Amino acid sequence: MDATLQALRGLVPRELQNPRVGIICGSGLSGLAASLRQSVLVSYAELPGFVQSTVPGHKSSLAFGLMGSGAGVPVVAMLGRFHPYEGHKLSSVVYPVRVMAKMGVKNIIITNAAGALNPELTVGTIVVVHDHIALPNLTGMNPLLGPQTDPSLPRFLPLSDAYSRLLRKLVFRAAHDLSIERDALAEGTYAWVSGPTYETAAEGRFLRAAGADVVGMSTVPEVLAAREEGMNVLVLSLVTNAVVIPASYQSVRDEFEAEIAGVSTKTVVEEVVSHEEVLALGRLKGDLMKSLVEKVLDLLPSNTQQ
Ligand SMILES: O=P(O)(O)O[C@@H]1C[C@H](O)[C@@H](CO)O1
Ligand SMILES: Nc1nc2[nH]cnc2c(=O)[nH]1
């Protein structure tokens, strides 16, 4: 950690060395940081402890700068995150969050691309996450597992308050101030799965039955580290696709038997999702996400821990 912080002190101008807000850009959402002023980019390759993002739509740089109107808020944005499915250790996935904490970040805005499980969520909706289901955490893949390296951090971290109510409300205030239509935003629960495979229909049904609204392959490890470090957390999921969950299975035996009986049938073609589709939606809705985040920064109270 000391080596990373020292490198950053050498690469980032002094006035940007104490960002107030950290931002993590999800798949295809690095444009979020396009409006940073006085921006300075630091490649992950220059930072000891950082790994590389290997996923299309994720760059590998930290961007420092001022965001929002007026004087602006000093922020640090990860243009490209790390996922366990890339082969990165969980400790590497959350390392940038720990660095942000050491630089003084008190609020973190984490974005991601996610598939909709809730049939009421349409593609393009931004979901303000208020809870999560993390099957990997529940089954032993938790970034906080292991010896406590910093005794000042809590051993048993509560998560019932993981998603800041104040920050969530600010998103709706921001949307209201920007006259964003009501249906563009929703609230929901994010299910974290390891990926890199997308869900089968049965898995989608299972996660929906468990109460998840959207599903993705990131975010929760970062949320855990950020909460452990005492940050206020806001998570925004962009719905890039629907997880296809047919109400019932249409039997191939029935289809076959109808065919040989000469009865005409509708052949089922299973829909599939692709990362290209995910990235395309990120590009399409990138501006909306950017305006929302900028407005949240404008509204952030300046006189509190926030
Ligand atoms: O980094 P995020 O969670 O935004 O990326 C999502 C999950 C996978 O990495 C990828 C699948 O298309 O997009
Ligand atoms: N697991 C998962 N991650 C996603 N990221 C974007 N879309 C999806 C999806 O449908 N499933």
Residue pair 215/135 in contact by the 8 Å Cβ criterion: no
The confidence band for 31, taking pLDDT boundaries of 50, 70 and 90, is confident
Mean pLDDT of the chain: 93
Residue 78 lies in a domain: yes
CA separation for the pair 121, 215 (Å, rounded): 12
- Mean pLDDT across the stretch 108-121? 97
Task: Quickly state the pLDDT bin for 7 (edges 50, 70, 90).
Answer: very high
Q: What average pLDDT score do residues 218-245 get?
A: 96
| 77 assigned to active site | no
Q: Is the pLDDT of residue 14 over 80?
A: yes
Minimum CA distance residue for ligand 1 atom 6: 113
Q: Choosing from 86, 222, 228, 229, which is the catalytic residue?
A: 86
Q: Is residue 164 part of a domain?
A: yes
* Domain assignment present for 21: yes
Residues forming the annotated binding site for a purine D-ribonucleoside?
199, 241
- Per-residue pLDDT band for 303 (boundaries 50, 70, 90) equals low
Residue 181 scores a pLDDT above 90: yes
Q: Is 113 domain-assigned?
A: yes
The answer for residues whose C-beta is within 8 angstroms of residue 167's C-beta and 6 or more apart is 107, 109, 232, 233, 234, 296, 306
Residue 304 in domain: no
CATH number at residue 70: 3.40.50.1580
Residue-wise pLDDT for 243-291, tens only, equals 988 878 888 899 899 999 999 877 777 788 999 999 999 888 999 999 9
- Whether residue 241 lies in the annotated active site: yes
Helix H segments across the chain? 2-11, 90-103, 135-138, 165-177, 201-209, 220-228, 252-260, 275-299
The torsion of the CA quartet 112, 195, 277, 182, rounded to 10 degrees, works out to -40
Count of structural domains within the chain? 1
Is residue 57 a contact partner of residue 188, using CB atoms and an 8 Å limit? no
Residue 306 lies in a domain: no
Q: Is 86 a catalytic residue?
A: yes
Using DSSP's 3-state secondary structure scheme, residue 292 falls into helix
Task: Supply the Cα-derived Rg of the chain in whole angstroms.
Answer: 21
pLDDT in tens, 44-70: 999 999 999 998 877 899 999 999 998
Is residue 22 within 8 Å of 229, Cβ to Cβ? no
Decide if 284 is inside a domain: yes
Burial class (CB in 10 A: 0-12, 13-18, 19+), 94: buried
CB atoms within 10 A of CB 273: 15
Say whether pLDDT at 115 is over 50: yes
Query: By residue range, what is the domain housing residue 205?
Result: 2-299
Whether omega before 196 lies within 30 degrees of 0, making that bond cis, reads yes
Q: What is the mean pLDDT of residues 215-221?
A: 98
- Per the DSSP assignment, residues forming a β-bridge with 234 are 109
Q: What are phi and psi for residue 187, nearest 5 degrees?
A: -115, 150
Would the pLDDT of 304 be above 60? no
Please indicate, yes or no, if residue 7 is contained in any of the structural domains: yes
The tens digit of pLDDT for each residue in 76-97 reads 999 999 999 999 999 999 999 9
Q: Who wins on pLDDT, 306 or 96?
A: 96
The pLDDT of residue 182 is above 60: yes
